[in-house]
Structure 1
Amino acid sequence: MDITDLYATWNSVCNQIKTYGDVNPHQVDAYFSRLHPQAISEGFLVLTADTAFFKMQVEKRYLTHIIQALKDTTGIDFMVEIEVDETEPAPQPVVVQQPVFEPQQDVGLFPGQPISTQLVTETEPQPSCLTGEGSEAMMEEEIARSKAATLASSLTFESFVTGNSNMLAYSLAVAVAEAPGQPNTNPLFIYGKSGLGKTHLLRAIQNYVMETNPTMDVVYIDSSEFLAEYTSAVTAHERDRKSFQNFQNRFLDADMLLIDDVQFFQGKSATLDIVFQLFNHLVDAGKQVVLSADRAPKMIDIDERYKSRFNQGATVNVDPPELEVKLGIIKNFINEYEATSESGPLNIPDDIQIYIAEISSSNVRELKSAVTKVIFQIRYSDSGEITLSEVKTLLEDHFSSGITKRLNIGMIQHEVEQYYKVTHAELIGVKRSRNIVFARQVAIYLCRNMLDIPYAAIGKKFGQRDHSTIMHSVKLIEDRMRSSREMQEEIEIITKMIRES
């Protein structure tokens, strides 16, 4: 069979798979873009995947579908072999030889102080009860058992539903998990609105590395937890220097550091200075850093040097999930519930699942809680079933956004206040500080464009300002958007926040 027939057959197989009721066509496109046909003969097909991880995923999720589609399209029973492309081997983790430093006195992570280099020092060999052949393997096994206990087991790459909205972020997360410390993906900065799966991806990286390379020291922490631990360590420093050193060592010793929601560090210069020192120390040593935030680095109110360093690796956004992805999330959640429940299978008709996906916001946590509501309504009803009409009533006020949400000026003002860190009194008041005036003009512009209400009506909600002032504010933002791509992106982000909040 020539190359034209090979690709024609493979294309037919892919299209056939997408007609099967138990697959998500969007996910098929996403996964099969990393799969390539190499050879076909009667009853045998050879495919290649670009990494071992995607080979495993395709075999686990789609191998039976590929075999069935080959049967359906050719009428022949096939064997299918998937190999990793040897011409582009999967990248291997970078092993960095740590330099040996001389001990220093009283160094720490206080603002302005250098990070301690006393952590990697030559020490006398310590006696061990594990001696002889096999001791190293036993030690690694013990480490693996210890770390496995800390896995966030449900937050894995396997349970992450992919689509156009998140496939790039997913692929980069997999690349980092498979080969930590590569310069082009270090740091990895993932950003997007709350509830879109950023934490899931960070935890999936953590879980994958801890399962496949248990000797690596992986630290996951969110920004609020980091701030609380740092504050506690600083408070205890004078009376217990060892306590602070332990805090310091936890991060400096990490082979991989994952920090969630770094936007909460803005305005906290001392904490940012420490994070920056840690960041530089780890990245310069070839250790992997992964960060997440609800906005791009350039939109976070931090010093330019932080933005520059955060952008030096790979920066990727996670967009709101499309309908197909939300349906996939719903089906996965139902399957997970059935697998862990002793009550037997659930009967949630497709029209109900589609309705939930259509009315839901982009927030995956809200989506799952809606499905949970429906599940419990079914379990505790006499009939063990639920109708679409009952679901509509049940979820009438569940979602904070989606097609059931009606925007108003107050909602727009609230999101603008959150984004620009101004109070409601400042936004509608008489203060003329540059940042307050700018936030006010943006809020007025968004009210006019998103609600399409008269200038006078907007003015009443902004401190009884007259219509000429409102018109002037709208024109100023329009002019800035025409000349500034950054202004356009900022308006797009805030608009998305308003629609999805």
Structure 2
Amino acid sequence: MEKIQLWKTIIGELKLSASSADIKTFFPQISAASFEENVLTLSCNSPIVKERIENRYYSQIRRIAEKIVKEKVELSITVKPFELKKLSSKEKIGPLFNQEKPSPEKDLLQKKSSANLFEKYTFENFIVGANNRLAHTVALNVAENPGKAYNPFFIYSEVGLGKTHLMQAIGNRVLEKFPKYRVVYCPGESFTNELVESIRLAKVQKDALTNFKNKFRRADMLLVDDVQFIAGREATQEEFFHAFNTLFMAGKQIVLTSDKHPNEIIKLEKRLSSRFSSGMIADMQMPDSDVRSAILRAKKEEMRLNIPNEVCDFIAQNTQTNIRELEGIFTQIITSLQASNKPFTLEETREIMGKKEKTQNVSPNTIVKAVSAYYSIKLPDIKGHRRLKEFVRPRQLAMFLTQQLTNLSLTDIGNLFGGKDHTTVLHATRKIKEDIVKNARLKQDVENIKNALGIK
């Protein structure tokens, strides 16, 4: 298949599951550079776009491509070199003082974009239940009165339960209420990457490190998602400590999210965990059946699909997982019905879920436990950081199976295995794929573990 057509087809299917904000913001900046020898190379405009796509959509893009071409596909994402555009003789610079003033709406959208916020995440479309009511109530108070109470505000939960949605909703509401506020949203991993890059640039650009510090220390509101990623990195924690203190002493609002309580984040310095715990802490639990139903009903409205509520309710009752996986399963069922031109009925949904039950409802933790039991390894060892040979291969295999059998992104899988970087997960999955071809014992191990999971 020709590269452009392949990429258009992939985008079409991604629109069913990817956030509309990402589709509108990031994907227009990506093009298909080549498709040769089953390697799809995508080219994007900036490292930020590359990081976003690799973290959230790498596995999904590859799977869709493989489904289309009916062969294994490797995916490579590159960044275009920066080029200065030269003005032609026909292009004229407009008048200096006669420029059209941006509307307040456009100005607000620009501010949200500059703060790395997405319009999709609002309080209005956040489904509230017993599992997240405290976090939602505090978030609303923080958005209405930033820096006045609940500072810092720390939200923790397992992956896929809405932490990012709630954090971004706070940022969006604050900019709507206080347009002059400087709001900065940053994932913990990006904070580390930006610090490393500024240190590197400081050798040739004197103010690079100062610019990095000012970005965070001069904010009116700092939103740091997955803050656990800074743990174990001495220079990062040192800089974050000073940024935190500067903002806190100035009465600026700080909101943090993590997959664990501050006191349970491994290798997080005590001085940071104590500060994270000094404000308001709220956890978010798995949604119950009613909340899952409400989420799917909202999802069908967002996707403008005429699906009976009983279908949404049936899927919710038979899919006990986090929100991200729930929406992924919902999208897969919709795609399957649309591809086969079948109606959205309860009977058709029952049939599809019956076929998918053994693969789609396998939880990541069940997979990890199965691999641990097969190799007689303790869970802390397979999820940990020890590099002993007897742990490395089972750990890579568990990552591979999690990537193959669930809807988790590479970043989410990394979080499951003790906060490992998505590139580590990518290396592990590729390594197992390569070795299965030439290692009959490994191939048999994979089959045995799948059989133990009830997957044929």
TM-score under structure 1 length normalisation: 0.52
CA distance in 1, matches of 2:339, 2:156: 39
Secondary structure of the residue aligned to 2:241 is helix
Secondary structure of the residue aligned to 1:274 is helix
Structure 2: runs of 5 or more not aligned: 1-95, 393-456
Partner of 1:292: 257
Among residues 275, 285, 298, which one is paired with 2:240 in the alignment? 275
Contact kept? 2:382, 2:391, Cα under 8 Å:
no
In structure 2, the CA distance between the partners of 1:423 and 1:407, relative to structure 1 (3 Å rule), is same
CA distance in 2, matches of 1:418, 1:214: 47
Partner of 1:53: none
Partner of 1:366: 325
Among residues 279, 285, 303, which one is paired with 1:337 in the alignment? 303
CA distance in 2, matches of 1:248, 1:194: 29
Contact kept? 1:185, 1:313, Cα under 8 Å:
yes
Partner of 1:381: 340
Partner of 1:245: 210
Partner of 2:52: none
In structure 2, the CA distance between the partners of 1:415 and 1:147, relative to structure 1 (3 Å rule), is farther
Deviations 1:365-398, CA, capped at 9 Å, x for gaps:
1111111112222333334334133222453212
CA distance in 2, matches of 1:233, 1:409: 40
Residue identity in the other structure for 2:370? N
Among residues 247, 254, 258, which one is paired with 2:223 in the alignment? 258
Contact kept? 1:188, 1:315, Cα under 8 Å:
yes
Report which stretch shifted further, 257-266 or 238-247.
238-247
Deviations 1:58-90, CA, capped at 9 Å, x for gaps:
xxxxxxxxxxxxxxxxxxxxxxxxxxxxxxxxx
CA distance in 2, matches of 1:241, 1:367: 48
Contact kept? 1:360, 1:401, Cα under 8 Å:
no
CA distance in 1, matches of 2:242, 2:364: 41
Are 1:356 and 2:315 matched, yes or no?
yes
CA distance in 2, matches of 1:304, 1:406: 30
1:129, CA displacement in angstroms? Answer: 7.3
Max radius of gyration: which structure? 1
- 1:5-404 aligned at under 5 Å gives the runs 143-149=107-113, 151-182=117-148, 184-301=149-266, 302-338=268-304, 345-348=305-308, 350=310, 352-386=311-345, 387-396=348-357, 397-401=359-363
Give the number of equivalent residue pairs: 288
In structure 2, the CA distance between the partners of 1:139 and 1:281, relative to structure 1 (3 Å rule), is farther
CA distance in 2, matches of 1:259, 1:325: 26
In structure 2, the CA distance between the partners of 1:313 and 1:406, relative to structure 1 (3 Å rule), is closer
1:161, CA displacement in angstroms? Answer: 0.7
1:416, CA displacement in angstroms? Answer: 2.5
Contact kept? 2:300, 2:307, Cα under 8 Å:
no
Amino-acid identity (%): 32
Aligned CA RMSD, in angstroms, stands at 3.2
In structure 2, the CA distance between the partners of 1:197 and 1:245, relative to structure 1 (3 Å rule), is same
Deviations 1:403-426, CA, capped at 9 Å, x for gaps:
998953627957533665445757
CA distance in 2, matches of 1:403, 1:233: 37
Residue identity in the other structure for 1:313? G
Contact kept? 1:234, 1:244, Cα under 8 Å:
yes
In structure 2, the CA distance between the partners of 1:149 and 1:275, relative to structure 1 (3 Å rule), is closer
CA distance in 2, matches of 1:316, 1:413: 33
1:250, CA displacement in angstroms? Answer: 1.0
Secondary structure of the residue aligned to 1:321 is coil
Contact kept? 1:417, 1:427, Cα under 8 Å:
yes
CA distance in 2, matches of 1:208, 1:312: 24
CA distance in 1, matches of 2:193, 2:248: 24
Residue identity in the other structure for 1:373? Q
* Structure with greater contact order relative to length (CA < 8 Å, sep ≥ 6): 2
CA distance in 2, matches of 1:292, 1:325: 21
